Amino acid sequence: MIYTPPEYSWRGYGKTLTPALTQRLLEAGQCHCWLYADKKNVLTNQMYQAIGYELIRESQDYQFITPTSDKPSR
């Protein structure tokens, strides 16, 4: 996961770190590098594609919430 605090945004940290880490992992023997990205973030997705990442599938997150009971607990 990559996160840049707002006060450090737009300085190129993510743009520099992502390909450097990817290259390091591949050189260390990894066959593949996987990246989860926010589909709505067009800017980062363009950057990921520019350094060689491709969309291979989409995923969704689900959260199951236990319903609250109207009965008072005893």
Residue 33 lies in a domain: yes
DSSP 36: -
Number of domains in the chain: 1
pLDDT at 52 over 70: yes
* Cα–Cα distance for residue pair 6/66, rounded to 1 Å: 34
Q: Is residue 68 predicted with pLDDT exceeding 90? A: no
- pLDDT bin (cut points 50, 70, 90) of residue 44 is confident
pLDDT band at 31 (very low <50, low <70, confident <90, very high): very high
Q: Decide if 44 is inside a domain.
A: yes
CA-based nearest residue to 17, from 34, 2, 32: 2
Domain-located, residue 26: yes
Domain assignment of residue 71, yes or no: no
- 63 is a domain residue: no
* Domain of residue 24, residue span: 6-50
Is residue 61 domain-resident? Answer: no
Q: What's the pLDDT at 54? A: 93
Q: Is residue 72 part of a domain?
A: no
